[in-house]
Amino acid sequence: MVVLGALTTGAAGCDLSPTAATVNGTSVSQSQFQGQLSVISGNAVAQCALSIEEAQSGGTLPAVTGSGDATVTTPFAAFELNTVVEQTLEQVALARRHVHVTAPDVDSARQDYLSQMEAASSQVASPCSLTGTALVDRLPKAFVDDQASALAVQERLEEVVGGIDVSPAALRAYYDAHRAEVTQVCLNLIVATSQASAQAIHDQIAAGASFATASGAAGVNPNSPTGGQGPCVYPAQIVAQLGQAAAAAVEPLADGALAPPQGIPIANQTTGTPSTVWIVIGVRQHHLVSFADSESGLRQQLLANGGARLTAVLSAEVRSARVTIDPRYGTWNERRGVITPTAPNPSFVLNPAVDGSSAGTSILGSGGQPAG
């Protein structure tokens, strides 16, 4: 268990606290680290965001709250310090290349972090039952500031080591050259109870009935989108959720056109048992997403191309890193990061919050999970 507290002494703005870690000569003070722990431990929505991030990457966030007042668990303290060490290694790698992070870089990273969190909260279970903007709008500013600053360093390093240009001018040029990729297809969609029902519903619409009317016909699965009005999605989402065959049937359709009934292979979310769901699908309209609304996604897409190079660079940084950790937080291991102490020292200070001395939606709705 780690007790949180005030470690800053001396004149305002002067941090004289001991170091929590030293990374290649760069110190992370205990007051800086404890401040980050306090922001997270004092806000359930921040903890929710971290849990979602971990779940998306296949991990599990350690329990945050300790057994005493104003405490966090030792595993969570080690988890967070490991993140800080990794971020410091990225800062050192960037400084070695004589590259600096600017205020616009941080602003862009903030936009990217919030959009990433909105998407992630819709893709994995949210432990706080908040998703999308309902989640990100409730994140504490100090937490978002920390995440944005860290992501800005990572993105600048991806730019440099990957030779990627994500300046506003470069993004605008990419947008203009790839308009098909940023044009959403607004779908009309009805999930049928069988192949025969799908064909009957298709024929009814082909004869002039609207999707809204046909959505009330016999043979319609109750999990169909309300009124037969599906979401507006990017072409890549159609491929990911409905499969290549359905995407190929939709791609050439003009606004208002109808595709033949499509059989979509799905898997039961609980048992994994495969089956086929039949849908009737048409295109309501095509919608070109504005550059302002596409900018963050395009930046993330281009930076992802440098992910392998970034991983290689950071692996080399870790292998040559000189890292020391305050024993109360654990020890450093090149392969495992920060390892929690077997007998954690309880002599930590108080939480600044209590110590006054310290100044993404499925196309198919809930009808099934696409197989594969």
As for how many domains the chain has, the answer is 2
Same domain, 55 and 14: yes
More confidently predicted of 205 and 14 = 205
Mean pLDDT of 3-10: 49
Convert the pLDDT of each residue in 134-148 to its tens digit. Answer: 999 999 999 999 999
Do 367 and 224 touch, CB atoms closer than 8 A? yes
* CATH number of the domain enclosing 193: 3.10.50.40
User: Residue 278: CA atoms inside 13 Å, Cβ hemisphere, count?
Assistant: 15
Confirm whether 368 is domain-assigned.
no
Confirm whether 172 is domain-assigned.
no
d(CA 288, CA 234): 10
According to DSSP H, which parts of the chain are helical?
30-41, 44-56, 74-96, 103-123, 132-136, 141-162, 168-177, 195-206, 211-214, 235-242, 244-250, 291-304, 307-320
pTM: 0.73
Same domain, 147 and 225: no
Mean pLDDT of 307-334: 83
Confidence of residue 199 (pLDDT cuts 50, 70, 90): very high
Same domain, 150 and 68: yes
Convert the pLDDT of each residue in 239-252 to its tens digit. Answer: 988 999 999 999 99
pLDDT at 372: 54
Which among 122, 121, 367, 360 has a CA at the least distance from the CA of 225? 367
Convert the pLDDT of each residue in 77-104 to its tens digit. Answer: 889 998 998 899 899 899 989 999 999 9
Quick check: 223 pLDDT over 60? yes
More confidently predicted of 298 and 363 = 298
Same domain, 205 and 334: no
pLDDT at 338: 78
pLDDT at 108: 95
Convert the pLDDT of each residue in 323-369 to its tens digit. Answer: 888 888 878 877 777 787 654 444 443 333 333 333 345 665 555 55
pLDDT at 361: 54
pLDDT at 353: 39
d(CA 288, CA 292): 12
Q: Across all residues in the chain, what is the average pLDDT?
A: 85
Domain hosting residue 38, numbered range = 2-164+305-339
* CATH number of the domain enclosing 330: 1.10.4030
Q: How many C-beta atoms surround the C-beta of residue 334 within 10 A?
A: 11
Rg of the chain in Å (alpha carbons): 25
Same domain, 19 and 116: yes
Mean pLDDT of 30-46: 91
Confirm whether 35 is domain-assigned.
yes
